[in-house]
Amino acid sequence: MTPRKGGLGRGLDAMISETAKNPRTSPKKTNSQKIIKQELQEKKEEGTVFTVKMTQIEPNRKQPRKQFDEDALLELAESIKQFGVLQPLLVQKKDDYYEIIAGERRWRASKLAGIKEVPVILKDFSEQEAVEISLIENIQRENLNPIEEAAAFKRLMEEFHLKQDTIAERVAKSRTAVTNSMRLLKLDERVQQMLIDEMLSTGHARALLAIDDKEMQYGAAVKVFDEKLSVRETEKLVKEVLNPREKKEEPVDSALELIYQQLEEKIKGIIGSKVAIHRKNKDKGKIEIEYYSQDELERIVELLESVR
């Protein structure tokens, strides 16, 4: 994948600093919010780095990323064992625990490494901001598979009523890219899983979207994977699926058929083996000679050589 140039959207730093500068106010403070405020005043001031026990941290169950590469986590865990967690996790307070906004991969690797405490930065985000930040962080690191990314875009649209133009601006993608991403959710679930498992590329998947019938779509996807078809070949396959060619039976000319049968018998008498004449059109065709042993093949070859 071609590395992206420059920053991505407003970036995490921009979103985080903006939230800190413009904190939201609510008319009433719950007991939980008062506790949070007291903690911030004492030690855990918003935006500062401090350590938290691993047992007090939980991932955001609604974050876009659902799958984690186990080998990559093990590699990161080994690095954490040697050097520790170099980048703090971004968290927000949730009742009696801290919820991860960005950094779940580091948290999982730290668990594998046996780390007891990790550095965190505490922020207070709305649910929409939490989704946006998780989405941006994963896109920046190219961690989301195409279906996870599409599902995150859909959530921003349906739950938070963001328009595609707004989403595109936030994640530094074109509106067309966001639209094409979300179209992948129309694929048959089995085809979506093939895309998640990297059995298909997004190019293959977009081509298969033209097939509305789910069974036909899945059958075509399996064929693409089994035969290792390119995207261009997949597009050709889709056209064939959508527009199957009907074999037109040419009218049989009885007199012509008789002539060719006589010619087949005549050649058979000369060669001594069964012969079939296959006509393509009026002037073209091919002659098929059957043989049933190596000796017979050599005999036919010698016969043909003798007429040169």
> Which residues have a catalytic role annotated?
104
What span, in angstroms and rounded, lies between the C-alpha atoms of 118 and 87? 9
For 105, the token pair is 């991969």
What span, in angstroms and rounded, lies between the C-alpha atoms of 298 and 125? 85
Residue 17's region, left for phi above 0, alpha for psi from -120 to 50, else beta, is alpha
Bridge-based pairing of strands 117-122 and 89-94 is parallel
Strand (E) or helix (H) holding 226:
helix 214-226
Query: Closest Cα to residue 229, out of 240, 221, 239?
Result: 221
Q: How far is CA 131 from the centre of its chain?
A: 20
